[in-house]
Amino acid sequence: MEVAPRPPATPASPTVITARELARHLGVSQSMVSRAFSPGASIAPEMRARVLRAAEELGYRPNVIAAALSRRRSSIVAIVMAELTNPFYPAVLEQLTEALQAAGLQSLLFTVPPGQPADSCLPLLRQYHVDAVVITSASLSSAGAAEWLGDGRAAVLFNRTAAGPTALDSVACDNLAGGRAAAEALLAQGRRRLAFVAGRADTSTSQDRERGFRAALAERGLPPPLRVEAGDFSYEAGHRAALALTGEADGIFFANDILALGGLDALRHESGLRVPADVAVIGFDDIPMAAWPAYRLTTLRQPVPAMVARAVELLQARLGGTAGPPRGERLPAELVARQSL
């Protein structure tokens, strides 16, 4: 009679060691174990190394979620973004995520449609027990801001400025000064028939860049620039705007680089104009494509690393209870001259 082979033995479930057991094994307190796994916590380097070595040998892994619940903090920062198709924002997302991790904070990305406020995300953020939110390429209503801050949470606007009665911390490029710099650069090249191509009408970035541009012209007694409202920040919108300005302007300031790249292609390949001989072009942001040989776009570079560092500092101060009144940080842009000017 044939005997059926035995099924292979299933390995025993690995034993999960707890922080209390690890502490007992080392002869230290459980809080000592916790501090060893907390960046910036007060613990001697030798003791931290001893705890981490024993944890590795015994297979201990800290339960981050349980620790967060015990101290009523998740250390999670939500990043709310729109316009992820704009190459400027993936680069911001990468740097912001890295900076938050270096500060001992973890990030969750939430997206909203362009033009929609971040308010619709707030209920979901609460479900994830998010401690703070960074809002970039989107807005937050005054009511939403008041409710969020009233829960004891923190918020920072990035590349946006605050509007309304509820003040928020914000970090942005000095867009007013950047608009002035664009006008001065075009005027220095002898351009006098200037135009501005706006992005979304409801964004503070486009509004401030236009205000600075117009102010620089007014101060010199020059007429206001021609204005084309592209409707959004896209290559296609910039392409259409440039065609509408053909023969009308000898210098064009686009509200951002992706608009300017569409405009450059329209001017060079469809309008038959020479850039910069017939018309000079300036963008804003300095995305990687701006430096490509096909474009060599003159632009205003946003100081993204410094902006990210300051945004994280403001969040940490708010979460630590050491921040004062809401602050609006404005960092200067840098004119990067290339071959479109």
Using one digit for the tens of pLDDT, what is the confidence trace for 301-314? 999 999 999 999 99
Residues 6+ apart with CB under 8 A from 257: 87, 88, 283, 284, 285, 286, 287, 289, 290, 297, 299
- Given this model, what pLDDT does residue 3 score? 46
Residues 6+ apart with CB under 8 A from 97: 79, 107
Residues 6+ apart with CB under 8 A from 174: 330, 331, 332, 333
Residue ranges, CATH 3.40.50.2300, the chain? 72-173+304-333, 175-301
Residue ranges, CATH 1.10.260, the chain? 19-62
Q: Taking residues 204-214, what's their average pLDDT?
A: 95
Q: Say if residue 1's pLDDT is above 70.
A: no
Place of tokens 């801050």: 149
Tokens encoding 302 = 């946003």
For 230-272, write each residue's pLDDT tens digit: 888 999 999 999 999 999 999 999 999 999 999 999 999 999 8
| Residue type for position 300 | L
Smallest CA-to-CA distance from 131 within 73, 211, 90, 64 is with 73
Which overall architecture, per CATH, does domain 175-301 show? 3-Layer(aba) Sandwich (3.40)
CB of 114 closer than 8 Å to CB of 85: no
pTM exceeding the 0.85 threshold for the entire prediction: no
19-62 to CATH, choices 1.10.1200, 1.10.260, 2.40.10, 3.30.2030? 1.10.260
Q: Taking residues 145-165, what's their average pLDDT?
A: 81
Q: Residue 103: count other Cβ atoms within 10 Å of its Cβ.
A: 17
CB of 326 closer than 8 Å to CB of 164: no
| Residue type for position 264 | L
| 172-to-33, 63, 126, 294 alpha-carbon distances in Å | 40, 36, 26, 29
- Given this model, what pLDDT does residue 118 score? 87
- Given this model, what pLDDT does residue 9 score? 47
Q: Taking residues 133-147, what's their average pLDDT?
A: 85
Tokens encoding 221 = 């007694």
- Given this model, what pLDDT does residue 168 score? 85
Class of domain 72-173+304-333: alpha beta
Strand bridging mode 169-173 / 154-158: parallel
Residues 6+ apart with CB under 8 A from 36: 43, 47, 48, 51, 52, 55
- Given this model, what pLDDT does residue 331 score? 97
Helix (H, G, I), strand (E, B) or coil at 196: strand
Q: Say if residue 337's pLDDT is above 90.
A: yes
Element housing 133 (H / E): strand 132-136
- Given this model, what pLDDT does residue 11 score? 45
Half-sphere exposure at residue 307, Cβ-oriented, CA atoms within 13 angstroms:
27
CB of 19 closer than 8 Å to CB of 25: no
Q: Taking residues 263-283, what's their average pLDDT?
A: 95
Q: Taking residues 211-231, what's their average pLDDT?
A: 95
